[in-house]
Amino acid sequence: MPITSTPKTATADDAALIARTLARAFDDDPMMRWFFPDDPSRETALGRYFTTLFTRQYVHHGVCERTDAAAAFWVAPEGQALAVPDAETVQELQNILGDRASLFRDAVAEAARHTPDEPHWYLAVIGADPAARGGGHGAALLRSGLAKADEAGVPVCLESSKESNLSFYEHFGFTVREEFRLPGDGPVLWAMRREPRTPAGDGKR
């Protein structure tokens, strides 16, 4: 069967596919390599990590979409208070991270300090299987979420932990608003923001 890059709503039944896709997508991500430094076990650990985030958090309180080879988790302004992981989710993530759990906690706290107060759509996670990169999967998911934010008339914010991805986001109108390093000599994150765009011809400014 051909692999389609058409976005579709992700449901809990897609958990295995999404976890496998994102584990492959983030294998070379500097922040995930910092959280999961052991090469042989990283893909399995990332699969558990993304399964937990998806099934316990974003599928309930976010806007989750996928293609056949990519996935994205978004949070609308009205869902951000609910999208904060509960105590059980935090504990499960810490169990997965093992002796890196304290680094994870500090990273989450530091990122929260740089979250803007204004209402915004938040792109929490987006990734494509490396085997399908170049097929437009990530771009299709990004356009889908950006269209929802534009319709609501609010900006979009994200943090990238991979410098080579900045130009991809800039192509879609994002600009770097802040650069900061995670505690414990962690990797650098780039906080990015995109202004809402008015659909052409609607007469609004």
Render pLDDT for 16-73 as a digit per residue (tens, 0 to 9). Answer: 999 999 999 999 999 999 999 999 999 999 999 999 999 999 999 999 999 999 999 9
83 pLDDT higher than 80: no
Range of the domain at 38: 8-194
pLDDT, residue 199, reads: 63
d(CA 128, CA 67): 9
d(CA 152, CA 8): 20
| Three-state secondary structure of 126-163 | EEECHHHCCCCHHHHHHHHHHHHHHHHCCCEEEEECCH
Q: Indicate the pLDDT class of residue 201, thresholds 50, 70 and 90.
A: very low
For residue 79, how many other CB atoms are within 10 A of its CB?
16
- For the residues of 161-183, what is the DSSP string, one character each? S-GGGHHHHHHTT-EEEEEEEPT
d(CA 29, CA 51): 17
Residue 3 covered by a domain: no
Domain CATH number, residue 145: 3.40.630.30
190 pLDDT higher than 80: yes
Q: What is the mean pLDDT of residues 98-114?
A: 92
Residue 2 covered by a domain: no
Residue 205 covered by a domain: no
85 pLDDT higher than 90: no
Q: What is the pLDDT of residues 131-177, one digit of tens each?
A: 998 899 999 999 999 999 999 999 999 999 999 999 999 999 999 99
107 pLDDT higher than 70: yes
Supply the mean pLDDT for the chain: 92
122 pLDDT higher than 90: yes
Helix or strand holding residue 117 (H, E): none
Q: What is the mean pLDDT of residues 83-92?
A: 85
Structurally, how many domains does the chain consist of?
A: 1
In 3D space, the residue among 131, 162, 123 whose CA is nearest the CA of residue 28 turns out to be 162
More confident residue, 84 or 38: 38
Q: What is the mean pLDDT of residues 69-86?
A: 88
Token pair for residue 68?
């056949």
In 3D space, the residue among 57, 44, 59, 58 whose CA is nearest the CA of residue 88 turns out to be 57
Within 8 A by CB and 6+ apart from 20, the residues are 47
d(CA 18, CA 199): 31
Residue 1 covered by a domain: no
Residue 199 covered by a domain: no
1 pLDDT higher than 70: no
